[in-house]
A = this chain, B = another copy of it.
């Protein structure tokens, strides 16, 4: 197979080609922007979902599943929300040949599907906090050009929705959600920034919105998640009320927490290289590929040993593939590398004789270990691979971010510029003018945490203070 396009400078050519070759998604479906998940890609997606579930279960979220279709009457109850979505929802207007009495939209997100039910579920302060999430597909009538995993029309989506007795309780939830995101990002070896979006760029209906952003591709940024505080903005139109301990009636305060398949796109784009996919162990359908390298006359012994080691590792809870196909070892190495498998085990007659195995990680680092210690050695190696991956990603993350002192600095080659911003709308819009779209917001945290240090400089536009650290960049 021909070489991949260079990643540097041709990012999207490289990106599309990697997804196609490794069969993460198939974009040949007859409607543009609606993609198919072949078996390999769907395995990654299922591991992705499981990582999210594992991160939110311990903070009290329970999984639910709501209908895909939302009646127009419910969608329109919160006026800001509908303004934000009306241009991009798909409308079902007919059942068979019969026009529907009330049009139904395909959920673009599920606030307006869930909240009429929350109004029934929440009665008393004892029912709060209510923490639910669903993993589903949402739909956006996307008119810009589509990109696999990043900008599509049917989107695989995690959405957490909570109800709290007070604004403060909802604020604490926002912090817990950020904590669970940190755990997810660590599993995926992804550094990120938490940016509080400017007032004019928050989620339609929100009190405030936090975007989780990463530098991505050729000097762009990618929003891979969001956490919103709604106050009682939705509770009021949807009637989500409860009886307080002293018998009064109060509206709930709400938050949401959203992560989509974009985050998978983020993993592909950040970690992948000239050989193809590079997957963190948590997302790898095959964590360890065992490749027998038989010499003359040793095929049976070597393959037998490979199968035995495969069983040991599978029994230890690892996802293992023993590759007994007819291809030559070099072709197998190439195939597993291009699919992002973190670890390969090479097993030749020499290794069999020595009761050893050679471990090779996705970046080519090799070492020989005794078979008797294989399971613990492989576990250690996967841990260490995740660290390597995180270190590499962090180095590039730091390299993609720079401080800008003057507006003209924003024209440079970095993905994200750190600036001082006084918070005034006029100054914000000026920044957006220069960077073509993106004042990502004031920086509220991230990982690594030391990206911004010390007091913020004066506003990059008007020079006045006090100002806050903010991030500017061009979102995909």
A residues whose Cβ falls under 8 Å from a Cβ of B: 26, 28-31, 34-39, 42-43, 45-46, 62-69, 71, 73-74, 86-98, 102, 104, 106, 113, 116-117, 120, 132, 137, 139, 141, 143, 153-154
A192 CA to B106 CA, complexed, in Å: 37
Closest to A94 in B: B91
A139 CA to B100 CA, complexed, in Å: 15
Given A28-B120, A116-B30, A117-B26, A67–B36 Cβ distance below 8 Å? yes
Within the complex, the shortest CB–CB distance from A206 to chain B, in Å, comes to 21
A261 CA to B143 CA, complexed, in Å: 35
Given A74-B30, A116-B30, A35–B94 Cβ distance below 8 Å? no
Chain B residues, CB < 8 A from A63? 39, 42-43, 46
Task: Decide if B34 touches A67 in the complex (CB within 8 Å).
Answer: yes
Closest to A67 in B: B34
Within the complex, the shortest CB–CB distance from A52 to chain B, in Å, comes to 14
Chain B residues, CB < 8 A from A92? 90-93, 106
A116 CA to B282 CA, complexed, in Å: 33
Chain B residues, CB < 8 A from A153? 69
The quantity of this chain's copies bound in the complex is 2
Closest to A61 in B: B39
Chain B residues, CB < 8 A from A39? 62-64, 132
Task: Decide if B87 touches A29 in the complex (CB within 8 Å).
Answer: no
Closest to A102 in B: B31
Task: Decide if B95 touches A94 in the complex (CB within 8 Å).
Answer: no
Chain B residues, CB < 8 A from A116? 29-30
A42 CA to B67 CA, complexed, in Å: 13
Given A36-B117, A62-B39, A132-B39, A31–B67 Cβ distance below 8 Å? yes
A104 CA to B153 CA, complexed, in Å: 13
Within the complex, the shortest CB–CB distance from A153 to chain B, in Å, comes to 8
A171 CA to B59 CA, complexed, in Å: 50
A140 CA to B64 CA, complexed, in Å: 22
Given A38-B64, A116-B29, A88–B93 Cβ distance below 8 Å? no
A153 CA to B35 CA, complexed, in Å: 24
A95 CA to B142 CA, complexed, in Å: 9
Given A62-B39, A90-B94, A95-B88, A67–B132 Cβ distance below 8 Å? no
Given A88-B95, A96-B88, A132-B39, A68–B154 Cβ distance below 8 Å? yes
Chain B residues, CB < 8 A from A139? 68-69
A229 CA to B65 CA, complexed, in Å: 32
